[in-house]
Structure formats: structure tokens, C-alpha cells
Amino acid sequence: MSLFLWIKLVHIVSATVLFGTGMGTAFFMLKAYLSGNDEAMKVTTNTVVLADWVFTMPAVVVQFVTGLWLTTKLKIAYDSSWFIAVILLYALVGLCWIPVVWIQIRIRDLIGAGAVRRDYRRLMHVWMALGVPAFSAVLIIFYLMVSKLGAYT
């Protein structure tokens, strides 16, 4: 297999890890929150924070590096509408994800210090609100990766 296909495979797998981990941790975090069980939230936030560092963060870096490499190899101009859209959406995802990670850590620490649901309810609402544009942007990026709409214009 050529280097190009290996890098493309790594890019696709890291996109899968990024999206899958995000969906999975979001599901479990929301499910734990809606259960009203503070012990479930404690265990879940510990696991979600760990998953973000073990899976999400490396996938974010791999996505960026392999994405730039593939863009160059495919001779897609950095000033193309496709590249600009992808980078802006990637930045939007990052701008949502960074506070989400902070919120998850904050909730984990609050619960560890004995906080109850009412103490972190507002943080969870912000966490949920940030998830909608982040996941929407990832879906649009997937569409652009597959379609290459605007990549060569």
C-alpha cells in the first residue's frame, strides 16, 4: 500500500475515533446527568475526562496533521473554498471542545468535592449547548471530506 493510502487510512480512522469517542462520551455523560444519580455522574465524568485525553486529543492532532498532508498531496489550494470551510469548521469544533473539556473537568472536581446536581446543572446546560454546533460542524466536515465540494475551484 502506498504512503498516500496509509495516511488516508490513518486520517479516516482518526476521524472515526474522534467522532465515535465524542458521540460515546456525550451519550454517557448526558445519560448519567439525566439519571439524577450523583455517583453515576462522578464515575462517568472521571471516565469521560480520561477518554478525552487518551482518545480525543490524539485524534485531534492526527486529524490536523494528516489533513494538511492529504490536502497538499491532493493539490487542494489552501485558499480554496473547500479548505477555508474545513479549517473554519475545524476551528469551530475546537472552540466548542476546549470549554467542553474544561466543563467536564470542573464537574468532575465539583462532584469529587461533594457537589450535587444543582451545583453543576448550569455547567451541564452549557456543555449540551456546545455539543450541538460541534457535532454539526463535524458532520459538515465529513460531507466536505467525501464530496470535496469546492476543493478544486
- For residues 113 and 57, the answer to whether their CB atoms sit within 8 Å is no
Tell me the average pLDDT of the chain.
95
Q: Is the pLDDT of residue 153 over 80?
A: no
- For residues 36 and 70, the answer to whether their CB atoms sit within 8 Å is no
- Residue 61, classified by CB atoms within 10 Å of its CB into exposed (0-12), middle (13-18) or buried (19+), is exposed
Instruction: Report the SS3 class of residue 2.
Output: coil
Residue that the C-alpha cell 465539583 belongs to: 110
Instruction: Determine the average pLDDT of the residues in 72-87.
Output: 96
pLDDT at 116: 86
d(CA 112, CA 45): 10
Q: Is the pLDDT of residue 4 over 80?
A: yes
pLDDT at 84: 97
pLDDT digits (tens, 9 = 90+) for 92-146: 999 999 999 999 999 999 999 998 889 899 999 999 999 999 999 999 999 999 9
Instruction: Determine the average pLDDT of the residues in 31-60.
Output: 96
- In single-letter form, the type of residue at position 139 comes to L
pLDDT confidence bin for 34, thresholds 50/70/90: very high
pLDDT digits (tens, 9 = 90+) for 61-70: 999 999 999 9
C-alpha cell at 137: 460542524
d(CA 90, CA 106): 24
d(CA 96, CA 99): 6
